[in-house]
Amino acid sequence: MKKVVILFLLVLTTKGHSQFAKNMFSKDPIINLENWQKQRIYFGYYLGFNSFDFKFDYKTPVKEDIQVKKTTGFNVGVVADLRLQEYINLRFEPGLYYTKRDLYFPGISNKESDYLREVNSTYIHFPLLLKFSALRTGNIRPYLVGGMSTTLNLSSNAKSKDDNFEQKFRVKQWTAAYELGLGIDIFTEYFIFSPSVRGMFGITDELIRDNTPDSPWTGNIDSMKSRALLINFTFH
């Protein structure tokens, strides 16, 4: 993720940077795509990165939390934007999200097959968001975004009868979350480029408990909810 950000910054400092800066930040910039966002509805697509985590709540206090090793996943999807009024838009951003998390359970045993669980997730993500835009300044328009989302986990093993005693860590197929973030619309000559960062916070318990109530893996977990940092680069 850091490499992509650095690469993006380097692109802005190449030969075309002076012309880009002139059009974007000068006192009297050339106004690009002046009437684009006055359309009732328009579409786009996005590419991006994610970092998913789990938030655990326990029934009784623990000495050591379950450790989550996060990795950087990727996002790809489409955008449908409905203009409600000059500063408010309704956005639907269905997409495919891939991520991987490793869970380390302390105090179970020294065997990796016991204390380590890999959670690979392929999500079909359905966020419905409200976008609150600021007044456009030249070719720049910042915005805030927030709303609700529901997610279908294509990698869910919810129907499996095996549990952690057979090395099977089970999660639910459907989950829900709320999302908050910010971004900026950059109007170029031919398209709108919108980098954004957003936090996703799960509101439903994602864990399927083991068949044994006092399981050392799931017996003391009151809830397990996904949360994530999402970075998207949208093109309209």
Domains of the chain, with CATH numbers? 41-235 (2.40.160.20)
Q: Is 65 exposed, middle or buried (0-12, 13-18, 19+ CB in 10 A)?
A: exposed
Distance (Å, whole) CA 222 – CA 220: 6
- Would the pTM of this model clear 0.75, i.e. be above it? yes
The whole-number pLDDT of residue 18 equals 45
Residue appearing with tokens 């994610």: 50
What is the C-alpha separation between 98 and 205, in angstroms, rounded? 20
Strands (E) located in the chain: 41-58, 67-70, 72-85, 88-92, 95-104, 116-133, 140-153, 174-187, 192-202, 221-235
Residue 82: per-residue pLDDT:
94
Give the C-alpha distances (Å, rounded to integers) separating 134 from 45, 88, 106, 170, 197: 22, 9, 48, 43, 17
pLDDT at 218: 92
Q: For residue 26, what pLDDT is reported?
A: 55
**Burial category of 1 from C-beta neighbours within 10 Å (exposed 0-12, middle 13-18, buried 19 and up):** middle
pLDDT in tens, the chain (236 residues): 555 445 544 544 443 444 444 555 555 667 777 777 778 898 999 999 999 999 999 999 988 899 999 999 999 999 999 999 989 999 999 999 999 999 999 988 888 888 999 999 999 999 999 999 998 888 899 999 999 999 999 999 898 999 999 999 999 999 999 999 999 999 988 899 999 999 999 999 999 999 999 999 999 999 999 999 999 999 98
